Amino acid sequence: MKLRNIAIIAHVDHGKTTLVDALLKQSGSVRDNQRVDERAMDSTDLEKERGITILAKATSVVWKDVRINIVDTPGHADFGGEVERILNMVDGAVLLVDAAEGPMPQTKFVVGKALKVGLKPIVAVNKIDRPDARADEVINEVFDLFAALDATDEQLDFPILYGSGRDGWMSDDPAGPQDGGLAPLFDLVLKHVPEPSVAEGPFRMIGTILEANPFLGRIITGRIASGTVKPNQAVKVLSHDGSVLEQGRISKILAFRGLERQPIDEAQAGDIVAIAGLSKGTVADTFCDPSVSKAMEAQPIDPPTVTMSFLVNDSPLAGTEGDKVTSRVIRDRLLKEAEGNVALKIEESADKDSFFVSGRGELQLAVLIETMRREGFELAVSRPRVVMQKDDSGQLLEPIEEVVVDVDEEHAGIVVQKMSERKAEMVELRPSGGNRQRLVFHAPTRGLIGYQSELLTDTRGTAVMNRLFHEYQPYKGEIGGRVNGVLISNDSGEAVAFALWNLEDRGPMVIDPGVKVYQGMIIGIHSRDNDLEVNVLKGKKLSNVRAAGKDEAVKLTPPIRMTLERALSWIQEDELVEVTPKSIRLRKLYLDPHERKRFEKQKMAGAA
């Protein structure tokens, strides 16, 4: 059967996964009476809850006797490592652009990567039914973006379709017709995307997606570059430097057929398949016939820009809520994650009790922590720090991000002010329709940690911020941090409502009454800039003069809810987030007050 391999690339929330749903339905891969979840490709619990794609996944449809392998990719820059690998597997790409928002930072990132590997994208303007759609302007912006990214003349001559993935139609004209469904897109893919280029020689394939299966073990997905492969065939795995990692036999070959994966007896060059049976081969390794001696070139991956410390949980409540608490099981889990996710880098500390985990951004690391806590892990994590570099002359360089903020005009001033305090430079300001403005900044990654929640507060929830790694630039100097201190529990026990009520004038709380606390745990935000130790266990004194029910009922202000992302970005260098399957707690690095004072003195002496 003839083949086409395409990736669907776009900025987050521009409708990639919804479009794949429509393609599956229209091609007949899904029966009319078959119950399919909305956004069927977002298969993990976290993807469904957050409404975002985290892992790249493949599917396949048949149109006019041609099998089209489709890869759905993530839209967040934090998961860009998934997109970079996927582009090696495909010969074409459908670039989805929102008809109102136009090209966004992640669009620029994925288009740049696609053009670099020589793909000729098809541009599909999605959500054309939006009331604020501006299709012609968006096409001009896409053309300008291609030109700015040094596209060739062939790449600049991109075909254009308009439509709505949710409603399941595409057309050459923004006005329709809509009765053709997605046939124009399918036909354009067959006409515009070349057949897979196949090299001569024995079986070779680069691993692109890694997953674990309880029955088949390790499953590697990739595109076969040359030759054919059958079950029980002998193969070997080469690392990027050509050394042999392992030799073995393929136990099963799985091909993508709609939403299912089916075992097949033989796979040809050019097809995207998953193979099982090898225990060591991973992403970016070459799987090949024993006669092959040279590894295939893999696409280089951008370096990580943010790092965090993962520590063994040593709080007094350690082990009460999770069952995976030792450094050995945490280490094994992190190394397993790094195998499949090439954008992550894991380093072990000298004391073996903590690990430095580096990635693309806070969201990527927060998703990893959230996945681990759902698996029963308990751990403590530090505030994210940026990965600095030095140039040849020894000058310190830090990562700079391109930040695009879409905001109502009335709030633009406060955004500019706050970003300038964070050492950001404004590079563009223009209206983006609907009484809104688009502000573009180049800002240090350090300054953006923790800014998302502050931005939403400043703009009453109307701002949308998108970030993308831009380049390394010379260190910009000190950036001011959190202005408030914290309220710290001075004893262990259960928090009492009466004590919390008495402490309300000191600042807002982050815990509920009845919650277990321990010495050194953060229970609230101090209204001043210093830390304050408080007693949250002190109940009302009862006597025969003052009876239990005589005073007014205690009415507490609801506490501030600390989500994992908010907690990670809010804490300071001397604080940790304790993560368990049931709780997210904030605590000081040193629980004992004397140790905290000693640490402060050392810090001040070091600064002097």
Pairwise CA distance, residues 467 & 448, whole Å: 9
Beta-carbon contacts of 289 under 8 Å, excluding residues fewer than 6 positions away, are: 202, 203, 204, 227, 234, 235, 236
From the CB of residue 475, how many other CB atoms can be counted at a distance below 10 Å? 15
128 is in an annotated binding site: yes
13 is in an annotated binding site: yes
129 is in an annotated binding site: yes
588 is in an annotated binding site: no
Pairwise CA distance, residues 290 & 285, whole Å: 14
By C-alpha distance, which of 90, 95, 77, 195 is closest to 146? Answer: 95
Question: Per-residue b/e over 9-40, b at no fewer than 16 CB within 10 Å?
Answer: bbbbbbbbbbbbbbbbbbbebbeeeeeeeebb
Pairwise CA distance, residues 197 & 207, whole Å: 18
597 is in an annotated binding site: no
Q: Crossing angle, helix 183-192 and helix 16-26, to 10 degrees?
A: 100
Cα radius of gyration rounded to whole Å, the chain? 27
- List Cα–Cα distances, 404 to 319, 440, 451, in angstroms: 42, 5, 13
Beta-carbon contacts of 432 under 8 Å, excluding residues fewer than 6 positions away, are: 101, 406, 438
Beta-carbon contacts of 153 under 8 Å, excluding residues fewer than 6 positions away, are: none
Q: Crossing angle, helix 412-421 and helix 451-458, to 10 degrees?
A: 150
Pairwise CA distance, residues 20 & 10, whole Å: 13
Torsions phi, psi of 56, nearest 5?
A: -75, 140
150 is in an annotated binding site: no
- List Cα–Cα distances, 459 to 34, 89, 411, 438, 464, in angstroms: 44, 42, 6, 14, 10
17 is in an annotated binding site: yes
Q: How many helices (DSSP H) and strands (DSSP E) are in the chain? A: 15, 32
User: Which residue type sits at 178?
Assistant: Q
| Structure token digits, residue 363 | 């969201």
Q: Is 443 exposed, middle or buried (0-12, 13-18, 19+ CB in 10 A)?
A: buried
462 is in an annotated binding site: no
Whether the CB-CB separation of 348 and 294 falls below 8 Å is answered with: no
Q: Is 250 exposed, middle or buried (0-12, 13-18, 19+ CB in 10 A)?
A: buried
Pairwise CA distance, residues 563 & 374, whole Å: 15
603 is in an annotated binding site: no
| Structure token digits, residue 358 | 């580096």
Pairwise CA distance, residues 488 & 593, whole Å: 10
By C-alpha distance, which of 446, 435, 388 is closest to 412? Answer: 435
Numbered residues of the known binding site for GTP: 13-18, 126-129
Numbered residues of the known binding site: 13-18, 126-129
